[in-house]
Amino acid sequence: MTDRICVGAIAGSFGVKGEVRLKSFCSDPEAIAGYGPLFTEDGTRQFSVKLTRPVAGGLGARLSGVATKEEADALRGTSLYVDKTRLPKLPDDEFYHADLIGMEVRDTGGVLLGRVQAVHNHGAGDLLEIAGAGLKEPILLPFTLAVVPTVDLVAGRIVVDLPEVLD
């Protein structure tokens, strides 16, 4: 799945004619419709997307091959992926979460802390979840320039300046 990125999920049906409530994970939520076909996680289904209207908690959308409320209901909770090559190129200081997950994490002294297990965002900014043999339990670090001064995608390494409370 490294060649695909999760860009949204189906939150349920909307109405009685097969429309879905789509939750977009894109910085511009409506951009999800412009990336070309979206795939299920296992790649067995693909959908073209036509946005219909804003709805509470997301966007109303029509998906190719979905014509009834029952078909839309059956897709509830389905994550939607796009080929990574279809996404826009990011500036040097921005990263797709999928690119960060699995990267090695070292402190500013070069000591290996572990690897990025996940990237979370609960509304106040991204948090890196780091787990490794040198840590008693996973830690969460804010993904800010002060705490994460270096991200080297080519080397697959992140350097973190641990806050004093974690030293």
Q: Give the pLDDT band of residue 1 (cuts 50, 70, 90).
A: very low
Collect contacts of 123-130 with beta carbons under 8 A, ≥24 apart.
126/97, 128/100, 128/158, 128/160, 130/105, 130/160
How far CA 133 is from CA of 81, 94, 107, 130, 138, in Å, comes to 32, 28, 14, 10, 10
What are the residues whose beta carbons fall under 8 Å from the beta carbon of 121, sequence distance 6 or more? 127
| Tokens, residue 65 | 């091959």
Kindly list the structural domains of the chain, giving each domain's residue range(s) and its CATH number in brackets, ordered by start.
Answer: 4-86 (2.40.30.60), 97-166 (2.30.30.240)
What pLDDT, in 10s, does the model give residues 21-61? 999 988 889 999 999 899 999 999 999 999 999 888 899 99
What pLDDT, in 10s, does the model give residues 56-106? 889 999 999 999 999 999 999 999 999 988 888 888 888 888 889 999 999
pLDDT at 165 (0 to 100): 60
pLDDT at 151 (0 to 100): 95
